Amino acid sequence: DTEVTQTPKHLVMGMTNKKSLKCEQHMGHRAMYWYKQKAKKPPELMFVYSYEKLSINESVPSRFSPECPNSSLLNLHLHALQPEDSALYLCASSQGVQKQGWDGYTFGSGTRLTVV
């Protein structure tokens, strides 16, 4: 299995809703990432988990709450979002530290989120 699977593919939510995005990989990768991508822009890093522990939070507002229940799963819990949070949310995974030859990320196909 060489894929990162994200669900749902599309999500429309109101500003008072609570929803969760899910990400799963079975490649044995020990680093997992959440990225946010606005239209015609590069992905922006939100969170990094390494060995199931949060290692990087890029000053993301608290209405986004990540969770890594085990080495294969990554969730992003959403609450009280704003319309400007509408974007494509990408999950990625990678090997941990390598001496050299790090293979980069494997990305999921993303969840397209619309906040109304």
Partner 1 sequence: GDSVTQMEGPVTLSEEAFLTINCTYTATGYPSLFWYVQYPGEGLQLLLKATKADDKGSNKGFEATYRKETTSFHLEKGSVQVSDSAVYFCALSDRSGGSNYKLTFGKGTLLTVNP
Q: Which is nearer to partner 1, 9 or 77 (CB)?
A: 9
**Choices 40-48, 60-68, 69-77, 79-87; region in contact with partner 1 by CB under 8 A:** 40-48
CA distance 116 to 114: 6
Q: Which is nearer to partner 1, 28 or 96 (CB)?
A: 96
Q: Provide the token pair at 105.
A: 């990320």
Question: For residue 84, what are the contacts with CB-CB under 8 A and spacing of at least 6?
Answer: 115
Q: Which is nearer to partner 1, 66 or 110 (CB)?
A: 110
Q: Which of 68, 108, 113, 115 forms a contact with partner 1 (CB under 8 A)?
A: 108
CA atoms within 13 A on the CB side of 106: 20
